[in-house]
């Protein structure tokens, strides 16, 4: 990366939220004209080296800019500043979810989208879709078993369901929102006891496997029910967390 490019990111490591700090820095450079329409952004690796943040953080920051319509990606070429980098009128980005109430609103939206998608996936899934969902589900199981949040794996599993609808608009919509659809910052796994984490992991595993099994078996009604049950229980858990915070 050139010295000038490195200077774009030289304050990121001091930001309290690395993802939003990186996104805000890029947005500021675009809005100021330092990054011009059509200009190619530094590679993910170059940004990682300049900022010290992980590849996941870089990708989430770039997803934020894509959601705002400020950058576009070209297969094999990288990310470029949009020709008209005016933020889109509607998007969901990770920094929007600063309260549990906002998370609950996103879950309401997800229920509306994914309830229908689960039914379509059960009707239209191909052998390749089933294999993809199984792979994503296995990855999610491993991540949770190892004590992680599993946010990226969770996102990938739900996205695989949308892909199985054979309607690309579903997955494109999910891509616009990125992993903001799975708000890991509110999961609070680090505050759970080992027993609580175990129960949480087992519950999540049952819910995800119920969705997968229904789609795999081509059971439209069961797929819709399992998906709605999963997100409804997530909603209930966040409502309990919100109420607990209110009474502190």
What whole-number distance in Å separates Cα of residue 13 and Cα of residue 49? 11
**What does the pLDDT read at residue 159?**
92
Which backbone phi and psi does 71 adopt, to 5 degrees?
-135, 160
Q: Which two tokens stand for residue 23?
A: 């996104």
What whole-number distance in Å separates Cα of residue 44 and Cα of residue 57? 10
Cβ neighbours of 185 (radius 10 Å): 13
**What does the pLDDT read at residue 157?**
94
**What does the pLDDT read at residue 56?**
87
**What does the pLDDT read at residue 1?**
44
In CATH, the architecture of 3-81 is Orthogonal Bundle (1.10)
What whole-number distance in Å separates Cα of residue 12 and Cα of residue 123? 46
What whole-number distance in Å separates Cα of residue 65 and Cα of residue 82? 10
Q: CB of 216 within 8 A of CB of 133?
A: yes
Q: DSSP letter string over 147-187?
A: T---HHHHHHHHHHHHHTTT-HHHHHHHHHHGGGGS-GGG-
Q: Which helix (H) or strand (E) holds 78?
A: strand 78-81
Place of tokens 């929007």: 96
Distances (CA, A) of 29 to 24, 43, 85: 9, 16, 11
Distances (CA, A) of 82 to 40, 86, 199: 10, 8, 45
**What does the pLDDT read at residue 196?**
75
Which backbone phi and psi does 91 adopt, to 5 degrees?
-165, 165
| Predicted structure pTM score | 0.61
Q: Which helix (H) or strand (E) holds 80?
A: strand 78-81
**What does the pLDDT read at residue 113?**
93
How many angstroms from the chain centroid is the CA of residue 131? 21
**What does the pLDDT read at residue 211?**
98
Place of tokens 């680090």: 190
What whole-number distance in Å separates Cα of residue 240 and Cα of residue 183? 16
**Tens digit of each residue's pLDDT, the chain (248 residues):** 455 554 555 544 444 456 567 888 888 888 777 888 999 999 989 988 888 888 888 888 888 888 788 898 887 888 999 887 665 555 565 555 557 777 888 889 899 999 999 999 999 999 999 999 999 999 998 988 887 777 788 889 999 999 999 998 898 888 777 666 665 545 555 566 777 777 878 888 999 999 999 999 999 999 999 999 999 988 888 888 777 766 55
**What does the pLDDT read at residue 116?**
97
Domain ranges of the chain: 3-81, 97-246
The CATH label, of 1.20.120.530, 2.60.120.380, 1.10.150.130, 1.10.3720.10, for the domain at 97-246 is 1.20.120.530
**What does the pLDDT read at residue 87?**
56
């Amino acid at each position: 990366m050139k010295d000038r490019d490195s200077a774009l990111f030289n304050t990121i490591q001091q930001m309290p939220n690395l993802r939003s700090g990186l996104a805000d820095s890029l947005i500021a450079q675009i809005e100021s004209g330092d990054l011009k329409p059509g200009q190619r952004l530094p590679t993910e690796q170059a940004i990682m080296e300049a900022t010290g943040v992980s590849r996941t953080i870089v990708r989430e920051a770039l997803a934020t800019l894509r959601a705002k319509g400020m950058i576009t990606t070209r297969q094999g070429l990288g990310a470029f500043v949009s020709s008209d980098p005016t933020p889109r009128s509607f998007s969901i980005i990770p920094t929007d979810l600063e309260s549990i109430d906002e998370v609950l609103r996103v879950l309401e939206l997800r229920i509306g989208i994914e309830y229908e998608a689960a039914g379509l996936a059960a009707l239209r899934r191909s052998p390749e879709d089933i294999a993809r969902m199984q792979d994503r589900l296995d990855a999610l199981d491993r991540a949770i078993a190892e004590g992680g949040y599993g946010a990226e794996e969770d996102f990938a599993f739900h996205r695989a369901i949308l892909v199985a609808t054979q309607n690309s608009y579903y997955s494109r919509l999910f891509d616009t929102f990125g992993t903001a659809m799975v708000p890991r910052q509110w999961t609070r796994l680090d505050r759970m006891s080992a027993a609580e984490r175990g129960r949480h992991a087992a519950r999540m595993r049952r819910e995800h496997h119920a969705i997968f099994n229904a789609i795999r078996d081509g059971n439209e009604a069961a797929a819709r029910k399992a998906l709605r049950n999963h997100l409804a229980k997530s909603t209930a858990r966040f409502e309990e967390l919100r109420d607990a915070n209110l009474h502190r």
